[in-house]
Amino acid sequence: MQFRSIALAALALALVLPAAPVAAEDDLVRQLVNACVGCRFPKDLRGRDLHGLSFVGADLRGVDLSRANLNGASFTGTDLRDARFDDADLRNVRFTGVRFGNTSMAHAKLDNITMEGVQLDGRSIVGADYRSFVRTCTGCDLRETKLSAAERALREVALHPPAIPPDVVRQLRDIEREMRLHPPAISADVERAMRNAERALRDVEREMRLRPPITPELRQRLREIESRQFMVPPLPAIPPVPATAPIPTVPLMPSVNPGTPPAAPAPPAQRR
């Protein structure tokens, strides 16, 4: 008990004092965590590098482990009620006999998590789908977990995979031995197509080797050409249009009084 109190005090002191460099501080925290059994930890462990550590009988109630690196860590008999693992790296973490309760795992990396002897229900883990841990959870208390028939069947298959009958195993071995002794023959068309593809690939490689490489000078010259602003030559002057002759005016028709009858046409000229 005395050692545990000393370790807890040293851990709290390491987390409070900002004088030490971050790497050295993380090293000290890691040593104290591994040496402490049944300790109650400080509330703020955000962003700490705690990968591969063992938390045995630890009291982590309400501890904030957001953005912490816990890859490969193990929690045994730990109280994790109201703990926060938001955005934390929980890959390859093992939870054995821990106590969940309103434990937040929002946006955490949860690949390859192992759970043994824990209670899983809608109130145990928040921020993540607790049912994703059900399939591989061994010895877990699922009495209050609502699972569909398909989820229960998948869990049974994951925990107790069906055994392959011995006669099927024997047949598979015979097929494998037969394929090693008599490998399947490749048809002539497939061999011809493979040879053509290899030949085309060699031709492309040869062309790439013969193509002159772009030297730094040439690359610089190309950049200069691309950045150069080309001037558009001015357009030639358009000659003035010559003046046209005035259009003669047409005499107006005499106005006709609507009250006077039209004049009679002139008689035709007589022939002599």
Rounded CA separation 93/113 (Å): 5
pTM: 0.48
In a domain? residue 235: no
Rounded CA separation 67/53 (Å): 16
In a domain? residue 181: no
**Are the CB atoms for 85 and 108 separated by under 8 Å?**
yes
Rounded CA separation 132/148 (Å): 13
**Torsion angle (degrees, nearest 10) of CA 110, 36, 44, 29:** -90
In a domain? residue 114: yes
Give the structural domain span for 57.
43-159
In a domain? residue 78: yes
In a domain? residue 37: no
In a domain? residue 219: no
Residue 34: CB atoms within 10 A of its CB come to: 15
In a domain? residue 263: no
Domains held by the chain: number: 1
pLDDT in tens, the chain (272 residues): 444 554 444 455 444 444 445 555 667 777 777 777 878 888 888 888 888 988 888 889 999 999 999 999 999 989 999 999 999 999 999 999 888 888 999 899 988 888 888 877 667 888 887 777 776 678 777 666 666 666 666 666 655 667 778 888 888 888 888 888 887 777 788 888 888 888 888 888 888 777 777 778 877 877 777 776 555 566 666 667 666 666 666 565 555 555 555 555 556 655 55
Q: Compute the Cα dihedral for 22, 25, 31, 35 and give only its sign.
A: negative
Amino acid (1-letter code) at residue 109? K
In a domain? residue 241: no
**Are the CB atoms for 75 and 58 separated by under 8 Å?**
yes
Q: For position 119, which CATH number holds?
A: 2.160.20.80
